[in-house]
Amino acid sequence: MIARLVAKELLELRRDGRVWMLLAILGVLAAGAALSAWQQVRTQHAAWHAASAGEQERWLAQDEKHPHSAAHYGVYAFRPPGPLAAFDPGLDPYLPVTVWMEAHRQNEALYRPAQDAGSAVRFGRLTPAIIVGALLPLLIVLVAAPAISGERERGTLRQLLAQGVAPGRWVLGKGLALATLLAGLLLPLWLLVAAVLIVASAPLDTLARWLAAGALVALYLGGFLLTCLFVSACSRSVRTALLVLLSVWAVSTLIAPRAVLEWAQWRHPTPSSFEFRQALQADLRDRSELDARLARRAAELLEAHGVDRLEQLPVNFDGFRLQAAEEHDYAVFDAHFGRLHDGYLAQERLLQWFGVLAPYLAFSAASSGLSGTDLLHYRHFADSAEQHRRVMQEVLNEAIYRNPEVDGQRYLAGPELWAIVPKFEYSAPSLGRVISGHAPAFAVLTGWLLLPLMGLLRVAPRLQP
């Protein structure tokens, strides 16, 4: 019986010209969004590869100089596009893309793509994630709102029940038919992209992220479909069902994101760049602990080598002094940058939890996380760049320490030392870490699926004409 009901519903959907018109419009929008996103990410990847290679070449080609001069010469670290940035660019256009790594300072990341972009980026760009997260639910609303309320309004529900059709099975048939329509629309495209990733030898992590994104979409759209069926079952007319569901859609996708973001920024304020740098510099001025450490180490070395002056040591004490200063500042940098990034992540986590009222918030947060275009990935990049800067300074200061001045001549390093400094290589965090960081969003979407399902299971068997 359920199979016949599903076949009957699919036949009606196939004969409904409005469904085909909506699918055609969505198909054109999705094709345009996918092509635009692919071209954008392709350009970004090319720019990232060129910039990274050019920066490494610049570092290796520098002239002979003292290692500390090379430390100030510095090198840039560039943030690559997210693994699935073509699906959901997320915050990528608004997050800095490069960090200047030099001696003594942990610099803030610079250069946001949106600063040099046109109005298409500043006012929002249509992306595959927006098609799936905002426009497909609208299609579900328009198709599913009349699914049960329309039958009741036309009087056909009374006839079906009079013929002995079990209302629970009938509602199940409706739901399976609509789910089949969505699966037939999305699943081939999802599998096609997965096949392209496999043929292109994409990293396993990228493929796993794509499959996880598919599960996320199924969870989100499944919740929307069940909510539409539940509201339709409880409504006496199609107009009432459409009014309720369109209100839910509008609040979730149009009103809540901006309003909740403003509230999150008020709830977890972050300092301006000037305030942040002022507070950081104030804490860096306290050098009493560093001076005490340098004095102890100088005394130990003088005693160990039996000399009276630092210049007589077989090592260059300046190398130790520079490295000790770096290590002294690590705790200050970690505290200030940690609080700054924690504030941003607290804002994002608040957005995820507000998905209880507006599920699009939870979907958007999880989608950008899986795509590698959210704050979690940005912080991971910034932390990776800082760790590389510290390794770089340690290598250069060690070279200074092991090469004391000879006859008043400073040690000058060349390409052999520049080549020892490792190249900055960035790897995105694992899928497990991403899912853990977006646990609230996944929990909210799971509830978004289960709650209307429980309501529908309660209402469907008692369905009245």
The reported pLDDT for the residue numbered 258 is: 86
Question: What CA–CA distance (Å, rounded) separates 344 from 96?
Answer: 14
Tokens of 365: 């947060």
The reported pLDDT for the residue numbered 147 is: 85
Give me the sheet containing 75-78, strands edge to edge: 75-78, 98-102, 105-106
Question: What CA–CA distance (Å, rounded) separates 367 from 190?
Answer: 15
User: Residue 312 gets which letter from DSSP?
Assistant: G
Question: What CA–CA distance (Å, rounded) separates 186 from 179?
Answer: 11
Question: What CA–CA distance (Å, rounded) separates 124 from 375?
Answer: 18
Question: What CA–CA distance (Å, rounded) separates 281 from 236?
Answer: 66
Tokens of 293: 């450490």
What are the C-alpha distances in Å from 376 to residues 23, 45, 238, 380?
A: 35, 20, 43, 6
| Closest to 256 measured CA to CA, from 134, 160, 80 | 134
Q: Is 284 exposed, middle or buried (0-12, 13-18, 19+ CB in 10 A)?
A: middle
CA dihedral in degrees (13, 18, 19, 24; nearest 10)?
150
The reported pLDDT for the residue numbered 362 is: 94
User: Residue 409 gets which letter from DSSP?
Assistant: B
| Closest to 411 measured CA to CA, from 326, 348, 318, 320 | 318
3-class SS at 84?
coil
Question: What CA–CA distance (Å, rounded) separates 395 from 59?
Answer: 14
User: Residue 407 gets which letter from DSSP?
Assistant: T
Sign of CA dihedral 194, 199, 200, 206: positive
The reported pLDDT for the residue numbered 124 is: 59
What are the C-alpha distances in Å from 289 to residues 237, 286, 322, 329, 429?
A: 75, 8, 14, 11, 35
User: Residue 131 gets which letter from DSSP?
Assistant: I
Pairing verdict, β 98-102 and 75-78: antiparallel
Reading the chain (465 residues) residue by residue, the pLDDT tens digits are 666 666 666 666 666 667 777 777 878 887 888 888 888 888 989 999 999 999 999 999 999 999 999 999 999 999 999 999 999 999 888 899 999 999 999 998 888 876 665 544 444 578 899 999 999 999 899 888 888 888 888 887 787 777 777 888 878 888 888 888 888 888 888 988 888 888 878 889 999 999 999 999 999 999 999 999 999 999 888 999 999 999 999 998 989 888 998 898 899 998 888 899 999 999 888 888 888 988 999 998 888 888 888 888 888 999 999 999 999 999 999 999 999 999 999 999 999 999 998 999 999 999 999 999 999 999 999 999 999 999 999 999 999 999 988 777 888 999 999 999 999 999 999 999 999 999 999 999 999 999 999 999 898 888 777
H helix and E strand count, the chain: 21, 3
- Quote the pTM value: 0.89
CB count within 10 Å of CB 233 equals 23
Instruction: Show the DSSP H helices in 109-236 as ranges.
Output: 113-116, 119-122, 128-130, 136-144, 146-154, 156-162, 167-199, 204-234
The reported pLDDT for the residue numbered 100 is: 94
Find the domain containing 216 and state its range.
2-462
3-class SS at 99?
strand
**Helix/strand/coil (H/E/C) assignment for every residue in 24-72:** HHHHHHHHHHHHHHHHHHHHHHHHHHHHHHHHHHHHHCCCCECHHHHHH
Number of structural domains in the chain: 1
* CB 430, CB 376: distance < 8 Å: no
- Which residues pair with residue 78 across a beta bridge? 98
Question: What CA–CA distance (Å, rounded) separates 402 from 395?
Answer: 11
CB count within 10 Å of CB 337 equals 18
- Which residues pair with residue 77 across a beta bridge? 99
3-class SS at 110?
strand
What are the C-alpha distances in Å from 252 to residues 83, 112, 308, 443?
A: 27, 28, 74, 17
DSSP track, 251-304: IIIIIHHHHHHHHHHHHS----HHHHHHHHHHHHT--HHHHHHHHHHHHHHHHH
What are the C-alpha distances in Å from 125 to residues 40, 87, 119, 268, 394?
A: 11, 12, 9, 27, 43
The reported pLDDT for the residue numbered 397 is: 94
